[in-house]
Structure 1
Amino acid sequence: MQPTPLKALAAAICTLALSAPLAAQEEVRINGEVVERFNDLLVVDEGDRRLLVRPQGNSGERFQVGDDIMVEGRLEGDTVTASSLRGSADEPDNGDQPQARVVAPDVEALQRQLDEQGFGEMIELKRHEDVYRITSINEEGVDVHSFFSPDGELLEWHIKRPGHDRPHRDESLSTLEQSDVENALSDQGYRNAALVDFKGRHMEWMAQNDAEEQVILHVDYRGDVYREKRLPAWPAE
């Protein structure tokens, strides 16, 4: 795959730089997908935001667009100065310890769940640590990322609608009532919804889904859910 042209990368960097105000530095660990690359500079999609990653030396050159990556480093605004980069193919050194048995996924069962959710046909399946990440395309032609446990349980899904397709908070809150959003969530199958936070182009809500699981929702300012993530359960004794 050819590296991203310099002009395209410069435009991406400018977009990232202008999209957020200056922020204090903080140490972070992020997981995401490489969506742009020029030499050793990477643009990583973490889900709701894209970050420019500056690796140490030439350590970023081994990553290609589409790779899953874990980045540790210092975040300032939308730029991470990386101290460590790991790809999904990188394995820790376990010495002579036996490796865990990898169970092949039941692709047909996973596709049935995608069909039930209306997420469309599977086009890619990757294993990352203990999670299967599936990319599919829904009937609107939009990519959907779904995350399944090794046992085939749906843990999280994210309809990758572009930011410009979602109204901004400043354009919407003056005419949007909380009850309107609560009713919209109820129509989409969620109960006991509680507002958690406001973001630029989405709200975060906590609710109970059809499977009676506690989930965090990303809801746009029209009331449409485009991301659901199951909250972890307390470990059984």
Structure 2
Amino acid sequence: MAASPVSQSAITASLFYAIGVGRIPSSHSPALADDLRDTVTRMLQDQGAGDSVNEVLDAVRAGRDAVAGDPSLSLSAKKYEELRSHLLAAQPAAPNRARNVWPIGASTILKRADGSWSAALQNVGLAPSSRARPSGFGTARFTPAQFGAALRDFTGQGAREGFTTSYQSYVDWRKAQQQRGRTDLPSGPSIRNTYGSWSAALKREGTQRGGAAPDGS
């Protein structure tokens, strides 16, 4: 039986866990969001590691708090896999291969972020890694020409229809275009990672219009 798709909450919790290992959450730290708590609890129970749920959730909470308090925190894919392997090795039984294993593997996280480890980190508030992708991990999915064309298509339609060139506008526009069958549009995080920021992408491609809101940089 094939594994179900990995949720973003499972990925977010995995990265927070890796940052939080060895940290102790503050007694005043707010509870985890329901989706993070429920996802981790369910997946650990499914793979026979229910006894570790409370300890793991404390590490996820500590990692979340650390990321919120220090935007310079980062994590290499190699270090992440080391921490993940250590937790999995401590589990009483090998996880069922028909299910997704938590913490989520680095290769899966990379695929969900269009092959960019830095984009995956930025999605949860971590600083970009000095190694955007582990050596040997595939090739870029989109060419420089495709990045430029996507930005020009987006801002051109925005000029005609009156919506802004903000980062969130692009995310929404791309989703609508994909529903119509387009497969040639890089994700918002991939654009930010490639150009350094959303504002830099618009400036470099000469697409930023007056009155636009280049947020998400």
* TM-score tier (shorter): under 0.3
- What TM-score do you get using the length of structure 2 for normalisation? 0.26
Q: Which has the higher strand share?
A: 1
Q: Which has the higher helix share?
A: 2
